[in-house]
């Protein structure tokens, strides 16, 4: 079924936005175009000819906003669609619009420092080619990962070769904890995050006025080859300095806010400040809807305040790894103060209202930003929202329980739904009442009540159809790009079922090889099916001959523990290489194949080890979301 038009209620809601915000302010468009060297266009393909990034996809985002898109989000999408190579200031250049993130090139005495080499190799190769064609074809002397999210390191092998690493010609700089955080986020919970990310970035819904228009922070994520090179240099404190091929860099260590491991930096010789991803032209996510650890809004605000104190008065330009720069000392300080106070207000007001006894949902409905913050486009909720960020801040401090015993031990959604629908007079009666509310534009309540019908009776066609229509209108009204994508993705799956699409492989070969053995064993423990393992007791010794490490795995009480001491009487013993383990994780070989090839040996109770392997779970990515 094709997406439907905006209803009169949605058209009116979106038209109302035009009177609420200063749309005649075009300063962002001037800044997004400033320094343009060459405009980007065309497609980026992989080795097989598959399109992994399409710059022309966004050509429809032109002119006034249609009534199916919130005008504020349309404006942000227009800005994000401005792609190409730009000069930020002398010796500082950015390629924007070639992935969700932005990559920056810093000119040194004899080469380039690359900051945040995008999410995948192919778009990064295209970005690098722009630099070589229109600036200078110079060697890369260093890479800076500003933080541990995949869109800021996945394309690194486009600019760094094995020879570069082996010779030490290229330094790779990252914040403390980068490797552990980047790998753990994309492996331990990679399956569920990838599924939810398919909603978050609109991969399922297509790209037009009734589909995806971008995710607010950028347009969407590329689908090319994900790589990872371990860092050679670590930034662990604010004020730490490095001079790389003549370029002096002063670092600010900013962990525990936008990312668990993150850094910003200042270039004294350029009077240029890089804020990584903690100050961008949107309200960011204190909690990201794809799923991740909740972030600390207070720490976030304090990091920005520190940057203002340390570098604000001495900066002529501030740039980040998303969006466009801001020029002029006064404008920079105003921009950063707005971002600082945005996260501080969100944090402090959530805690104030919680102390008054309000629940997370009540806080999210009551809290409003002051106009002095809210009317700045840079503070609008294109990627995060005030609504879901306040709920996350509540949970960060107080957990999921709101204190009401009625919410302490609820039934699972399907059982709750069956009883509620029964109480409400049956599915048909509920759908008929919901249809009246839909016509009245009461979409939020319709979505709530129809969810109960669908979870009670997932085959109820009228409920599914009306819920799809409802999600569609909520998506059309959303100012937040991610909310729009979630609503429209839910509508599509209600109408058509789950569609299997290509997704980036976050557990890429480089990510697997970068895992320490303890990190891999933690992942193995997640895979163990606890109920099936209960009552079984095994101890396995594993020796990795190529790295000189040995571990004992203990399976007892339905859990897997491990330690470095040898077992006195192991159930079985394995001798293999770490590279062999990588082959198994990547699906390149099985344990039986390694044993047959003489690359691994198992002694003792081989059958017990086989039983253990049979207890490990596997995950299906395309699980249901909007239906039980």
Q: What is the DSSP string of 292-317?
A: -PPP-HHHHHHHHHHHHHHHGGG-SE
The CATH number of residue 568's host domain is 3.30.1050.10
**Residues 449 and 567 occupy one common structural domain:** no
User: Hey, which residues does 95 pair with through a beta bridge?
Assistant: 85, 103
CA nearest to 23, candidates 385, 478, 380, 368:
380
**Residues 214 and 305 occupy one common structural domain:** yes
Q: How far apart are CA 475 and CA 69, in angstroms?
A: 8
**pLDDT beyond 90 at 519:** no
Residue 20 belongs to some domain of the structure: no
Residue 13 belongs to some domain of the structure: no
Q: How far is CA 46 from CA 49, 85, 225, in A?
A: 5, 21, 8
**pLDDT beyond 80 at 507:** no
CA nearest to 109, candidates 83, 81, 139, 132:
139
Q: How far apart are CA 273 and CA 251, in angstroms?
A: 10
- Helices in 249-385 by DSSP H: which ranges? 297-311, 329-355, 360-366, 371-374
Domains in the chain: how many in total?
A: 3
180: containing domain: 27-397
10 Cα distance to chain centroid: 29
Return the DSSP state at 384.
S
**Residues 491 and 530 occupy one common structural domain:** no
**Residues 450 and 331 occupy one common structural domain:** no
Residue 416 belongs to some domain of the structure: yes
Residue 22 belongs to some domain of the structure: no
177-233: pLDDT as tens digits: 999 898 877 667 778 888 998 899 998 899 999 999 999 999 999 999 999 999 999
**Residues 142 and 176 occupy one common structural domain:** yes
Rounded to two decimals, what is the model's pTM?
A: 0.92
Residue 510 belongs to some domain of the structure: no
437-481: pLDDT as tens digits: 999 999 999 999 999 999 999 999 999 999 999 999 999 999 999
**pLDDT beyond 80 at 47:** yes
CB–CB of 217/382 below 8 Å?
A: yes
Q: How far apart are CA 402 and CA 163, in angstroms?
A: 56
**Residues 139 and 60 occupy one common structural domain:** yes
**Residues 437 and 487 occupy one common structural domain:** yes
Q: Is 104 helix (H, G, I), strand (E, B) or coil?
A: strand
Q: How far apart are CA 75 and CA 27, in angstroms?
A: 12
Write out 165-215 in H/E/C secondary structure.
HHHCCCEEEEECCHHHHHHHHHHCCHHHHHHHHHHHCCCCCCCCCCCCCCC
> pLDDT value at position 340?
98
Q: How far is CA 455 from CA 159, 424, 541, in A?
A: 49, 14, 46
**Residues 342 and 391 occupy one common structural domain:** yes
The CATH number of residue 416's host domain is 1.25.40.880
> pLDDT value at position 500?
82
Boundary (domain end) residue, out of 347, 374, 397? 397
Which pLDDT band holds residue 504 (cuts at 50, 70, 90)?
low
The CATH number of residue 105's host domain is 3.60.15.30
Boundary (domain end) residue, out of 340, 374, 397? 397
> pLDDT value at position 505?
57
**Residues 469 and 538 occupy one common structural domain:** no
**Residues 58 and 145 occupy one common structural domain:** yes
**pLDDT beyond 80 at 1:** no
């Amino acid at each position: 079924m094709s997406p439907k038009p905006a209803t009169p209620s949605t058209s009116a809601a979106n038209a109302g936005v035009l009177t609420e915000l200063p749309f005649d302010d075009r300063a962002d468009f001037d800044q997004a175009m400033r320094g343009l060297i060459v405009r980007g266009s065309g497609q980026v393909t992989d080795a097989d000819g598959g399109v992994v990034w399409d710059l022309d996809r966004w050509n429809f985002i032109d002119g006034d906003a249609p009534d199916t898109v919130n005008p504020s989000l349309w404006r942000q999408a227009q800005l994000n669609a401005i792609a190409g190579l730009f000069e930020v200031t002398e010796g500082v250049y950015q390629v924007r619009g070639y992935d969700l993130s932005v990559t920056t090139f810093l000119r040194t005495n004899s080469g380039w420092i690359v900051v945040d080499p995008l999410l995948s190799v192919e778009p990064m190769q295209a970005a690098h080619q722009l630099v070589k064609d229109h600036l200078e074809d110079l060697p890369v002397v260093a890479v800076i990962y500003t933080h541990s999210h995949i869109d800021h390191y996945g394309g690194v092998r486009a600019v760094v070769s094995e020879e570069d690493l082996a010779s030490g010609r290229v330094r790779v700089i990252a914040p403390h904890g980068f490797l552990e955080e980047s790998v753990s986020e994309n492996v331990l919970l990679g399956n569920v995050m990838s599924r939810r990310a398919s909603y978050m970035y609109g991969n399922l819904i297509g790209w037009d006025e009734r589909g995806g228009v971008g995710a607010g922070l950028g347009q969407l994520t590329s689908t090319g080859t994900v790589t990872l090179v371990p860092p050679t240099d670590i930034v662990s404190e604010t004020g730490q300095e490095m001079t790389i091929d003549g370029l002096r860099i002063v670092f600010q260590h900013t962990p525990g806010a936008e990312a668990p491991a993150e850094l910003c930096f200042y270039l004294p010789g350029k009077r240029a400040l890089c804020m990584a991803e903690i100050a961008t032209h949107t309200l960011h996510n204190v909690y990201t809807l794809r799923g991740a650890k909740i972030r600390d809004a207070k720490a976030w605000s304090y990091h920005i305040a520190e940057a203002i104190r340390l570098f604000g008065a001495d900066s002529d330009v501030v740039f980040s790894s998303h969006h466009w720069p801001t020029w002029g000392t006064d404008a920079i300080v105003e921009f950063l103060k707005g971002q600082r106070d945005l996260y501080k207000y969100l944090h402090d007001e959530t805690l104030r209202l919680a102390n008054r006894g309000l629940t997370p949902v009540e806080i999210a409905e009551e809290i409003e930003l002051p106009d002095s913050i809210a009317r700045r486009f840079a503070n609008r909720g294109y990627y995060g929202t005030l609504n879901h960020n306040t709920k996350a801040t509540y949970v960060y401090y107080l957990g999921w329980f709101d204190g009401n015993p009625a919410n302490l031990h609820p039934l699972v959604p399907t059982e709750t739904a069956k009883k509620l629908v029964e109480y409400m007079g049956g599915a048909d009666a509920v759908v008929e009442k919901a249809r009246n509310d839909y016509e009245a534009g009461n979409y939020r309540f319709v979505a709530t009540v129809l969810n109960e019908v669908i979870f009670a009776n997932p085959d109820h066609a009228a409920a599914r159809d009306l819920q799809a229509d409802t999600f569609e209108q909520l998506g059309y009204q959303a100012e937040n790009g991610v909310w729009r994508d979630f609503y429209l993705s839910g509508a599509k799956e209600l109408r058509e079922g789950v569609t299997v699409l290509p997704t980036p492989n976050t557990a890429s070969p480089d990510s697997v090889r970068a895992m320490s053995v303890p990190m891999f064993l933690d992942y193995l423990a997640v895979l163990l099916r606890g109920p099936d393992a209960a009552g079984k007791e095994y101890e396995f010794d594993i020796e990795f001959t190529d790295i000189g490490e040995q571990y004992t795995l203990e399976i007892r009480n339905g859990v897997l523990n491990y330690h470095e001491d040898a077992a006195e009487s192991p159930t079985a013993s394995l001798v293999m290489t770490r590279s062999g383990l990588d082959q198994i994780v990547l699906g390149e070989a099985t344990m039986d194949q390694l044993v047959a090839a003489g690359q691994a040996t198992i002694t003792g109770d081989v059958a017990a080890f086989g039983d253990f392997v049979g207890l490990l779970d596997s995950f299906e990515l395309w699980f249901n979301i909007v239906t039980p």
